[in-house]
Structure 1
Amino acid sequence: MNRYEKLEKLKSILSDAGSAVVALSGGTDSTFLVSVARGVRGLRLMAVTVSTPYMFSSEVDDAVRFCLGHEVKHREIKMDIPSAVLLNPHDRCYLCKTEVMKAITAAAREGGFEFVLDGTNADDLREYRPGLRALREAGVRSPLAEAMLTKEEIRALSREAGIEVSDKPSNTCLLTRFPHDTQITPAGLRLAEKAERIVSEAGFPGARVRVHGELVRIEVRDDQFDRITLPGVRMKLSGAIKTLGFRYVSIDTEGYRTGSMNKKEEE
């Protein structure tokens, strides 16, 4: 199937649902899902965003802005850091997703909605995603994956639909900026967010800032590496990040890679 045929399949899935809550993170996938769902005749829809201290504030803002601009019923649920992830354990993604989906499914039951949907796409099913187990346990459906839509197809369809976040870089929560078995605090999370915003606004979108105590390690894409190592650029970045209270700023020579803070099995 091409992406247009998959889009029609997605609409059919949503139409059959009757009523649904969409877990809206503010990223491309869940925003696209809400965008399509709002156009499905007869579907009673609500978007729910769970706001935690380890979410980027810009993600929550994007979710709120989209729903306001498209007249989608939206609810924001504020949640503190769950005790299960305070020490950033190895299975943090599963533990966090479990708590988030508990909150969203409770909101769905309260509102009389039949299904809870999320933005997992077909590519996600081929990757290591511990949170998928929590989705299954909570009975959450993933219509994008059911329609076999890939990330690139979703981006292409989002661009064609004029969705503002169509080319927004994929992101993960701020817990992934810290090593496992590290005490997580709201203050530390905000510092990591500010440091990463400095790097992004300097012209390195999609870069990651990893925090190791007083040291910040910057990971950039291969095509960004030459520029960030220019003396004027790296010194300016280093100076700006140090104003946040960090003592050392380093550039990771291996560049950006997913899961770089995950423990290796032999550890």
Structure 2
Amino acid sequence: MNTKLKAWFAEHPQVALAFSGGVDSAFLLHAAREAKANVRAYYVISAFQPQFEREDARKLATSCGVKLTEIPLDVLADTRIASNPPDRCYWCKRAIFNAIANAAQLDGLPVVIDGTNASDNASDRPGMRALQELGVRSPLRECGLTKRQIRELSREFGLPTWNKPSYSCLATRIPHDQPLTAEALAATERAESFLRECGFSDFRVRRCGSCARIQLPRDQWDKLLNEHETIRAALAADYDEVLLDLKERTSE
């Protein structure tokens, strides 16, 4: 394990981890266990998270022998979030981490941590301001671990998430100032679930008016074009048209 990270947990032996089941939080959970810290994982259930993420989080927590606490949160009840302003992520993070902090306090865990790493740019992540205001600690960032290093270490430790594509919440698929609704978010999840079942990976289905704009790596374009009729038919109930974004998606 990274010596700085081990020392960090030695100073903070009781922690509540905001857990998504992604690369960073999975590695952080493993590191906390290796450091013999008293760690509990917390997963916030909302309209912004697809079912597969929840299932991944459950499996990973179980494999690490860590209790996973699931916290339901109605993010759409907050108009500062549902109206989808440019700083939506700030208000959403505040709601999520307030919920986790309250649960952690009841469990007697004094420090809330998250998987923000040294590659994350604070200037374009308004949610990071909320974390700072709430006193959430980010051990990976504080110890200088980049996304690439975390993937490499995860592979060395045999974690199944080492090459898992990065995944942002469903709300990011809808343009700012276009209201977020349960129906639009559910349509996004259905579309992305279908494409995942078709064998696509590391993609996004972004809403563009009444259309679905699919963004994916260049090496998957031919597959999309070859299967376009099947995809159009599957998405027709939720979108008028299906478009290919000619700006390819690049992996982190």
Normalising by structure 2, we get a TM-score of: 0.93
Contact 2:75–2:81 (CA under 8 A) maintained in structure 1? yes
Q: Within 2, Cα distance between the matches of 1:37 and 1:141?
A: 14
Alignment-derived partner of residue 171 in structure 1: 167
Q: Deviations over 1:2-26 (max 9, x none)?
A: xx6xx12111101210211011011
Q: Does structure 1 residue 246 correspond to structure 2 residue 239?
A: yes
**SS of the counterpart of 1:124?**
coil
The aligned amino acid for 2:246 is T
Contact 1:23–1:119 (CA under 8 A) maintained in structure 2? yes
Q: Does structure 1 residue 153 correspond to structure 2 residue 149?
A: yes
Alignment-derived partner of residue 31 in structure 2: 36
Q: Does structure 1 residue 54 correspond to structure 2 residue 20?
A: no
Q: Deviations over 1:159-212 (max 9, x none)?
A: 121211221100110001111122222222111011012223323211110113
Q: Does structure 1 residue 197 correspond to structure 2 residue 190?
A: no
Alignment-derived partner of residue 8 in structure 1: 3
Contact 1:115–1:140 (CA under 8 A) maintained in structure 2? yes
Q: Within 2, Cα distance between the matches of 1:110 and 1:145?
A: 27
Measure how far apart 1:221 and its partner are. 1.6
Alignment-derived partner of residue 263 in structure 1: none
Contact 1:222–1:255 (CA under 8 A) maintained in structure 2? yes
Alignment-derived partner of residue 20 in structure 2: 25
Q: Within 1, Cα distance between the matches of 2:238 and 2:168?
A: 24
Q: Which runs of 5+ in 2 are unaligned?
A: none
- Is the alpha carbon distance of 1:14 and 1:125 closer, same or farther for their aligned partners in structure 2, counting shifts above 3 Å? farther
Q: Deviations over 1:62-103 (max 9, x none)?
A: 111111222102211010124121111111111100111111
The aligned amino acid for 1:38 is R
Q: Percent identity?
A: 39
Contact 2:206–2:214 (CA under 8 A) maintained in structure 1? yes
Q: Within 2, Cα distance between the matches of 1:66 and 1:151?
A: 19
Q: Runs (4+) of structure 1 moved beyond 3 Å?
A: none
Alignment-derived partner of residue 216 in structure 2: 220
Q: Within 2, Cα distance between the matches of 1:70 and 1:254?
A: 38
Q: Which runs of 5+ in 1 are unaligned?
A: 259-267
Count of residues in Structure 1 that have an aligned counterpart in Structure 2: 249
**SS of the counterpart of 1:11?**
helix
Q: Indicate the RMSD between aligned Cα atoms, in angstroms.
A: 1.7
Q: Within 1, Cα distance between the matches of 2:233 and 2:97?
A: 40
Normalising by structure 1, we get a TM-score of: 0.88
Q: How does 1:182-193 map to 2 (within 5 A)?
A: 182-193=178-189
- Is the alpha carbon distance of 1:146 and 1:26 closer, same or farther for their aligned partners in structure 2, counting shifts above 3 Å? same
Measure how far apart 1:257 and its partner are. 6.9
Q: Within 2, Cα distance between the matches of 1:46 and 1:157?
A: 22
Q: Deviations over 1:143-173 (max 9, x none)?
A: 0111111111111111121211221100110
Alignment-derived partner of residue 39 in structure 2: 45
Measure how far apart 1:228 and its partner are. 2.4
Measure how far apart 1:213 and its partner are. 4.0
Contact 1:85–1:95 (CA under 8 A) maintained in structure 2? yes
Contact 2:122–2:128 (CA under 8 A) maintained in structure 1? no
Q: Within 2, Cα distance between the matches of 1:125 and 1:37?
A: 24
Contact 2:75–2:95 (CA under 8 A) maintained in structure 1? no
Q: Does structure 1 residue 233 correspond to structure 2 residue 227?
A: yes
Contact 1:19–1:114 (CA under 8 A) maintained in structure 2? yes
